[in-house]
Amino acid sequence: MRTTVILAGALLLAASLAQAGQAPVEAKNAWARPGTRGGNSAVYMEIHNAQAQPDRLVAAGTDVAEAVELHETRMEGGMHRMHKVEAIEIPANGRVELRPGGLHVMLIRLNTALRVGDRFPLILRFERAGRLTVEVLVREQAAAGEYR
Ligand SMILES: [Cu+2]
């Protein structure tokens, strides 16, 4: 009897973990601009945070580029300028969109050409959620309206 109760409890716990199975942080629709070897590219995606606390994307890495930085594009005197940012904050139970003209992961000095249809892994490191590997699809910039 006692064993049954313990077993049932363990199953319930397993079930609730599987249901909560939602990862603390998820990245969706990751894509990158095509680029030539030695050139630059940028990665865009939606980052969802299912945690009750805010999290921060603090670093990113990939073999396809010599250096990877977190950037933000801002308008300054009518010009788009990119700045390095230390981290990208994702609100508790919220999301952040990395998109052209805004936040992005900058790929500097590509080790290989990125062609439309290529896919490559990008590792994201979050302060709370830890490491997350996402698959990035190389494609042309979204059609007008696809990204607000
Ligand atoms: Cu940039």
pLDDT tens figures, 71-108? 999 988 888 899 999 999 999 999 999 999 999 999 99
Taking the centre of ligand 1 as the mean of its atom positions, its distance from the CA of residue 65, in whole angstroms, is: 13
The count of structural domains within the chain is 1
Taking the centre of ligand 1 as the mean of its atom positions, its distance from the CA of residue 100, in whole angstroms, is: 10
Taking the centre of ligand 1 as the mean of its atom positions, its distance from the CA of residue 22, in whole angstroms, is: 30
14 in a structural domain: no
117 in a structural domain: yes
Q: What's the pLDDT score for residue 124?
A: 98
Q: Which two tokens stand for residue 148?
A: 């607000």
5 falls in which pLDDT band (50, 70, 90)? low
pLDDT tens figures, 114-129? 999 999 999 999 999 9
39 in a structural domain: yes
12 in a structural domain: no
Mapped onto helix, strand or coil, the DSSP state of residue 18 is helix
- List Cβ neighbours of 84 (8 Å cut-off, separation of 6 or more): 69, 70, 71, 106
Q: To which H or E segment does residue 8 belong?
A: helix 2-19
Q: pTM of the full predicted structure?
A: 0.81
Q: What's the pLDDT score for residue 148?
A: 39
16 falls in which pLDDT band (50, 70, 90)? very low
18 in a structural domain: no
What's the rounded Cα separation, in Å, for the pair 105 and 64?
Answer: 13
Taking the centre of ligand 1 as the mean of its atom positions, its distance from the CA of residue 15, in whole angstroms, is: 42
The CATH number given to whatever domain includes residue 31 is 2.60.40.1890
Taking the centre of ligand 1 as the mean of its atom positions, its distance from the CA of residue 85, in whole angstroms, is: 10
State which residues form the domain around 43.
23-138
16 in a structural domain: no
45 in a structural domain: yes
Taking the centre of ligand 1 as the mean of its atom positions, its distance from the CA of residue 71, in whole angstroms, is: 5
Paired sense of beta strands 94-98 and 41-49, if any: antiparallel
8 in a structural domain: no
